Structure formats: C-alpha cells, structure tokens
Structure 1
Amino acid sequence: MALVSKGLEGVVAAETRLGEVKGAEGILFYCGYDINELAGHVSYEEVVYLLFHQHLPNRAELDALTTALRAERELPQGVIDFLTSAPKSAKPIDVMRTAVSMLGCYDTLRHDLNMGEHRATAIKLVSQIGIIAAYFHRARQGLSLPPIRKDLSEAAHFLYLMSGEVPSKEAEQTLDVAYVLHAEHGFNASTFTARVVASTLSDMYSSISAAIGALKGPLHGGANEGVIHMLEEIGSPDKVDSWVADALAQKKKIMGIGHRVYKVLDPRAPHLQKMAIKLTEQLGEPKWIQMSERIATIMREQKGLNANVDFYSATVYHSLNIPTDLFTPIFAISRMSGWTAHVLEQWSDNRLFRPLSEYVGKAYGQKVVPVDER
C-alpha cells in the first residue's frame, strides 16, 4: 500500500535551485543566500535577477534587467479597459487573476530585448503585475490612471501609481524590503500550483493565474488581510488579553501566528517587525504594533507559537496607506518573481506531476439499479 501523506506533508515532489526553507531551524535561502543577507542589502530587482539566473547581478546585468522590466510596463489597452470597467466591489485579487489571464491574449512582448520568449514573458509579468493592482485600485475610486514612468524602481513605481505622487525614499525602501522578503518560499501552495500547471506544458499565464487563485486562500496569502481585521476587531491594546483568551477558548485561529513549515521564528518576521515599529511611531499610531506585540507574546508564552511573516507585513502595509484588500495582491506582486522562476525551472527539466491517491469509497462491485427502483 502506498504511503498516504495528507497535504503532501514531508513529500519531496521535485528538486529546485531557487529556494530552501529549513523549518526546524527557521532559515530561508534564496539560491544559497540567507534571507538575512539579502533583506535590506539588495534591491528587489537584484532578487528578481538572482531567481532567474541563480547568481546576483553585476552592475551591467542589473541595468539590463532594470531596462527590460521598465520597457514592459505599458499594459494592453484591452486590459486597461477591463480594469476600469470591472465591478468596483470586486476583490482586487480576483481582478488581478483575471487580468493576468487576459495578458495571455495579447502578443505584446518586446522581442528586441534579446531573451527567450519564456523569460521575456516572466519579465513582462513581473513588470505589469503591480500596475494591474494599482490601476484597478485607482479605477474603483473613480480616479485617473497616472501615466507609466520608467525612472522609478518597482517598489517606487507601485506606490506612485497608487497615490499619483512619487513616494518618499523611506516608503520606497520599506516596500522594496517587503518585496524581497516575499519573493520566494520553496514549494508553498501557490508555487506548487504554478509548477503543476506548468508541468502539463500549459503556458505561463495559465500557470500564474492558477497560482494567484491558490494565493487567495486565507490559509495562504489571504492571512495578512486577516491580521488587520483581527486587530480592528480587538480595537485597543487593553482588550488584547481578553480577546485572545476568548479566541483560544473557542479554538479560533489567531491570524499570523504559527506556520505550516517553520517550527521556530519565521526568519522574515523580525525584518517586518522592525519596519512596523518604526512606521507606526512615525505616524503616531502605536496601537497597531502594541496590539501585535502583545498577541505575539501571549501566543509564544501560552502556545509556543511564533509570529509569521503575515503578522507584521499587515501592519507595514497598513502604515503605508495600502488598503487591506490589497495586502494579498501585494504578496502576489512580490511573489511573481518566484512563481515565474519556478515555472522556468520546471520547464528546464519537465516531468508531469501525477501523484497517486488511495481510494476509500464504497466497496467495488456496486450494481446499477433502475432509477424508478432506487
């Protein structure tokens, strides 16, 4: 009898050169680089190059990638028309998933950039995913769509499109670090979904649309939205202890606490924690981080569980004036580099994913009874 592992826990489905998560030790690597070595020391664009090529770029290589990313920023008019006509009540992650699928209908690749078609598609998706999110957000508010600029980094360009103004250097650096921290995380649910679809030799747009669908779930990327909703429900620091006690008594899940893989502290969390503390102090809204820190302390002391990356990223995004329903789309923006890198890697040595299942239904040999006799 085959070994059954619910959720494929502990099963090695494929080899990868892109990332490794050491859950027991609380370590995350991108192509051999510890996340603590990367966060705050390299830009998101450098991480995109790293994931695509498995080494950090020199200045010429980084300039070439930056040029390629900025050259692909213009969305097809048909996609813009969709973003401006989509229901204003639609969830941004649903609009993003649909818009990515629509991109596959347009042959708008810059073929003069001297790269293979698959890598060119990956560059295009990394470049355009943030524009999709920002343009829909502007459109649903009845605001004009700022013109694309090619003199801003990926992080700065997204914040500029959101507000119509060039962000401060500090805001740009904060979002850039968040992008770096979320870019890659092994065979998580959305990445594995992308690779499964890619293994059928479907196209990259289909693979990424499927990945976004997986990310949407509250057990995956949707968790960071849940953190803010939780903090808003609690309301103030003095209510944290009683709220957590009630939630634990009712066996409710505390959003942003614990992780499927990490058995110790998520190595990404401290970076976002520091940024959250700094941002809330500057804004004069310390209650968000005060509530977060108290929840983290209670859960660590009472349950032996640590805060994960979603726990503090929620406060960081909130402090950057990003609406709660855009938290998961921002996760998708940063993870686009990892998703597309995994699709490229899957195709480099492809094997169709086709796991077995163990049948536990009715006994074999059931007989069909005419419908009027059932």
Structure 2
Amino acid sequence: MEKECIISRLSESIKTTSRIDNELFTEYNVKRGLRNEDHSGVLVGLTKIGNVVGYEKLPEGGLKAIPGRLIYRGIDVEDLVRGILAEKRFGFEETAFLLLSGYLPDKEELAAFSNMVHQCMPLTQKTKMNILDLEGQNIMNILARSVLEMYTFDENPDDTSRNNLMRQSVDLISKFPTIIAYAYNIMRHSNQGRSLHIRFPKENLSVAENFLYMLKGGYTALDARTLDLALMLHAEHGGGNNSTFTVRVTSSSGTDTYSSIAAAIGSLKGPLHGGANLAVVSMFNHLKENIRNWKSVSEIDDYLQKMLRKEVYDKCGLIYGIGHAVYTISDPRALLLKEMARDLAREKGREEEFAFLELLEERAVENFMNFKGNKVNKRVCANVDFYSGFVYEMIGLPSEVFTPLFAMSRITGWAAHRIEELNFDSKRIIRPAYRNVGPEKKFIPMEKRGQAKV
C-alpha cells in the first residue's frame, strides 16, 4: 500500500478516534488548560521565584480585577526597573542574579557575576562549527539543537547537584545571546547570500550591548537600554506559563538540564506562547495600510469591529496583543515598555506610528469588551506583546530573532525554576491524570477483520 494512501487512511481515522465532545469535559469536571471556570489557574505547585498578579479572589467567590503586578523574588518589577534606570545602569545581569540566588547582589557580587557571564559568552570552536552546520529557517529550532549539543561538551551533564545546576544555568544564560546572534547571521548568509559576520563578544559590554553588537554591529545607547529593559521584563513570569511549566515537568523526572531547556524552547516556539509579538507586528502593518486616517476613532473602531466579526485581516476574530490569562486592568510589562517605546519612537522619527499604536490599544480594549459583552467575565488589557514587536523593529532587530530574544531572557526564569524543582526536600514526578472516555473493544483475529474501519 502506498505511503500516501496509508497516511490518508490514518489521518481520516482521527476524525472519530481523536474527537472528544466538549460536554464530557464539563461532565467530568476537567479543567482544560489547567484553568478554573473563573479563568484563574489551577494551583499545581509552590514557588518562591516569581508571582503574576492580575486579580484578587473574593471571599464570596469570583474575581476582582486589579492593576497588574509582576514580582521577582519578592520585589516588584516596576521598583526593580525604575531603581536601575534611576542609577543609569544595565539591569539584565542583576535580574538574572536575583532570580538565581533570591537576593539582590552588592556592587562586588554584581561585578563578579557580570564578568563571569562575559567569560562564558564565547562559544567553543566545536560549538561554533556545529552552529555553522545547523541549517534551517527557524532560529528557535537551531537554538534547541544547539542546547542539546551542549550536553555532549559538558563533563558532568547529568549531575543535578546545586553547584553543577548553577554552573550550567550561568553557562546557558551567557551563551544564548551568542548562539542566537550567530545562528541569525549564518541563516542570513545561507538563505539570502549576505556577508557572514561572526563577531566575538566584547569586554565591558552588557548582555544587551553584546547581543546587538554580535547581531548587527551598530546600535545607539537607547537601543541597548531598551533591549536591556525588555530582557528584564521577559526574564520570569511565574511557574504556570507553558514553557516554565515544561521545565518543571521535565525536571521533575530527573532529566538533564539540556533536555529540559530544549523542551522549554520547543514550548516557547509555539505561536500561542512566544510568537505573539510577531502576530502583533503583522496586524499593525496591516492596519497601517488599511486605515487611512490614523487619528480617526470612528474609522479605527469600524475596522476593529470588522476584525472581531472575522470579516477582515486573517478572519480569526482576534485582536493580537489584547488580553492575558492573568492580567486584567493592566500588564505592568506593557506599561514599562510603552514608556521606553515613546522615547525610542522620538529618536527614530516614528512618533506618528507610536501615536497610532497607542490609540489602537485604547480602541482595541474598548471594542473587544463591547463586542464580547457578557460573554467574558473579566476585563482585558494590552499585554506586553502589543508593544514589544514594534520596539524590536525600531531597534533594528529582524523578525527572525523576536521569539529567540524571548528565550534569551526567559532562560533565567527557566533555570531558576529548574533549580527550585530539583531542590525540594520531597521530590515527586509531576504526573497529572487523564480520564479515558473511549469505549472498550474486543480483539478481532486478523482473518476476521475487514478493511479497517473505526
């Protein structure tokens, strides 16, 4: 039987064998997506690393929307960011130290940690040659394969002692920027016939500065500060987000660091998780072309309503960058990034586009709530993706590195959660239950089977 025929037959069988009626999820009280009916997350673990706050649970039941807060090791991210900006310093390295250790470093500790990160940034000759050989169209895939190959060059890859976990974590945090920058330039060279630039990381530059240097050479001071802010804001988002939960699930089995982090990269690659800013950029470019007067509230409202009715754009009924699983009134990351985006737009001469995006945010929230009416039981707000793609474009970053950039930041949170998961006094593999709702069947001898029908 031809391969295409077999594939077609197997695919056809899925229509019935893989279909489960929605009513059954209600009947068996299955919390799909590990979400409660009030849209809060199902509590499956405890952590001291991060906290995502968007609502309060009321004593009488239900949720109360509150301004969003993001907490790193007990410190409000807004306080962390504003404190570092006030001292005119780069903050990603300090954020990484905080997430890994649980406390803010003093001046000497931060200098030593930053120096260690820089020393670990260069790739070994073997790793560089392997990246040269890793052809592909997606840098996230190249990143995952590179991480798996790092297992081969680690003298103690399976050691889960605290010291070894911390060594591996710092090494991964340090090497992600280099791998991503090199992978992009190699892909650009292979697929577009462009000159190949492999720049060695420089001393006395922050991670943000070195990434921009390795990726494209030139950058402005505001470019680097804005990227540093984005790295700080994306570094951690609680244990329940899909990629971090993937790290915790895989780590609970006792697997090695590289396998666990590669699995997280696969999760983040998904368009419902790490690829959202690309969707916002695509939508924004479409709206710039199809809305003639960028200051007209009525024209914007009319077009957004058509989008929600699935009449225009990709006809999915979505306004990308609007809404979040936890944040209701505001996403603190979006508010902080929006402030820097305003300064960046002024520097790049793109203030008119920024004003349009800001008005779109306001009208999108209003139109979404009006359109959904009582179909949603919580408020919505713009999430960080609404501005991050536009910010990356202004910095001069290619769209191919948008999601890898997310991974470059989130590796810090992943590493912290892996270390915490493996250092519980009572280790237990994460193993939830699925209820089987398929019918039992009798085995049929081969000679009595007809053409296989499900």
Identify the TM-score tier after normalising by the shorter chain: over 0.9
For 1:92, the equivalent position in structure 2 comes to: 139
Write the deviation string for residues 95-139 of structure 1: whole angstroms up to 9, x where unpaired: 111111111111279xxxxx8111000000000001111111122
C-alpha contact 1:20 1:29 (8 A) present in aligned 2: yes
Write the distance in 2 (CA, Å) between the matches of 1:68 and 1:351.
33
TM-score norm. by structure 2 comes to: 0.77
In the TM superposition, what are the counterparts of 1:1-374 in structure 2 within 5 Å? 3-9=29-35, 10-24=41-55, 25=66, 26-42=68-84, 43-87=91-135, 90-107=137-154, 116-142=163-189, 143-165=196-218, 167-186=219-238, 187-236=240-289, 238=292, 240-250=300-310, 251-304=316-369, 305-349=380-424, 350-362=427-439, 364=440, 366-371=441-446, 372-374=448-450
Write the distance in 1 (CA, Å) between the matches of 2:335 and 2:390.
13
**Which secondary structure state, in structure 1, belongs to the residue aligned with residue 83 of structure 2?**
coil
Structure 2: unaligned runs, 5 residues or longer: 1-26, 36-40, 56-65, 85-90, 157-161, 190-195, 294-299, 311-315, 370-379
Which amino acid is the alignment partner of residue 307 of structure 2?
A: A
Write the distance in 2 (CA, Å) between the matches of 1:41 and 1:106.
39
Structure 1: unaligned runs, 5 residues or longer: 110-114
Write the distance in 1 (CA, Å) between the matches of 2:272 and 2:356.
22
Deviation, 1:252, is 1.9
Instruction: Report the CA distance shift for 1:98/1:164 in structure 2 as closer, same or farther (over 3 A).
Output: same
Instruction: Report the CA distance shift for 1:210/1:287 in structure 2 as closer, same or farther (over 3 A).
Output: farther
Structure exhibiting the larger radius of gyration computed from Cα positions:
2
C-alpha contact 2:223 2:344 (8 A) present in aligned 1: no
Which amino acid is the alignment partner of residue 306 of structure 1?
A: C
Write the distance in 1 (CA, Å) between the matches of 2:129 and 2:338.
39
Deviation, 1:2, is 7.3
**Which secondary structure state, in structure 2, belongs to the residue aligned with residue 27 of structure 1?**
strand
Write the distance in 2 (CA, Å) between the matches of 1:288 and 1:98.
38
Bigger CA drift: 116-125 or 130-139? 130-139
Write the distance in 2 (CA, Å) between the matches of 1:319 and 1:266.
21
C-alpha contact 1:190 1:215 (8 A) present in aligned 2: yes
Deviation, 1:15, is 0.8
Which amino acid is the alignment partner of residue 320 of structure 2?
A: M
Instruction: Report the CA distance shift for 1:2/1:201 in structure 2 as closer, same or farther (over 3 A).
Output: farther
C-alpha contact 2:222 2:344 (8 A) present in aligned 1: no
Instruction: Report the CA distance shift for 1:151/1:7 in structure 2 as closer, same or farther (over 3 A).
Output: same
For 2:5, the equivalent position in structure 1 comes to: none
Deviation, 1:243, is 3.7
Percentage of identical aligned residues:
35
Bigger CA drift: 20-29 or 200-209? 20-29
Which amino acid is the alignment partner of residue 358 of structure 1?
A: R
Write the deviation string for residues 252-298 of structure 1: whole angstroms up to 9, x where unpaired: 22111101111221111111111222212221123432332232112
C-alpha contact 2:305 2:367 (8 A) present in aligned 1: no
Write the distance in 2 (CA, Å) between the matches of 1:14 and 1:292.
38
Write the distance in 1 (CA, Å) between the matches of 2:101 and 2:29.
36
C-alpha contact 1:73 1:131 (8 A) present in aligned 2: yes
Write the distance in 2 (CA, Å) between the matches of 1:155 and 1:335.
14
**Which secondary structure state, in structure 2, belongs to the residue aligned with residue 268 of structure 1?**
helix
Write the distance in 2 (CA, Å) between the matches of 1:85 and 1:291.
43
Deviation, 1:334, is 0.7
Which amino acid is the alignment partner of residue 313 of structure 1?
A: S
Write the distance in 2 (CA, Å) between the matches of 1:35 and 1:46.
12
Which amino acid is the alignment partner of residue 182 of structure 2?
A: Y
Write the distance in 2 (CA, Å) between the matches of 1:160 and 1:229.
26
Which amino acid is the alignment partner of residue 245 of structure 1?
A: Q
Which amino acid is the alignment partner of residue 314 of structure 1?
A: G
C-alpha contact 1:76 1:106 (8 A) present in aligned 2: no
Write the distance in 2 (CA, Å) between the matches of 1:288 and 1:324.
18
Which amino acid is the alignment partner of residue 181 of structure 2?
A: A
C-alpha contact 1:92 1:136 (8 A) present in aligned 2: yes
C-alpha contact 1:18 1:30 (8 A) present in aligned 2: yes
- Across the aligned residues of Structure 1 and Structure 2, the Cα RMSD in angstroms comes to 1.9
For 1:112, the equivalent position in structure 2 comes to: none
Bigger CA drift: 153-162 or 65-74? 65-74
C-alpha contact 2:92 2:229 (8 A) present in aligned 1: yes
